[in-house]
Amino acid sequence: MKAILFTQENTDGFNALQERIHLHMISKIGVDGFSYSANCWASYSEAYVYEDQLCMPIDDAEPRYSYILEALTQEEKDSIQDINLE
């Protein structure tokens, strides 16, 4: 799985990126039949923890993957890592 990792202290950064992705997804509703049903963004308090870091999964198998990438800066795209969540 791919993910962006945050230190556990960087809760503001995690939440800000989740909010930005959420708002971008809302803007894409109806584009090429895209649907998105979340009514809020995910909070750091609900995040997976991977090797002591907050984990924001970026599933490249999901149809919305390209929309998620559109919401990211180049630096954020470069920070995506392959991880093993089990």
Interval 23-82: pLDDT, tens? 999 898 888 888 887 777 788 998 999 999 999 988 888 878 899 999 999 999 999 999
Q: What pLDDT score does 86 carry? A: 66
User: Is the Cβ–Cβ distance between 44 and 54 less than 8 Å?
Assistant: yes
- What is the enclosing helix (H) or strand (E) of 16? helix 11-27
Question: In a 3-state reduction of DSSP, which class is residue 13?
Answer: helix
Q: What pLDDT score does 32 carry? A: 84
Tokens of 25: 């997804």
Q: What pLDDT score does 63 carry? A: 77
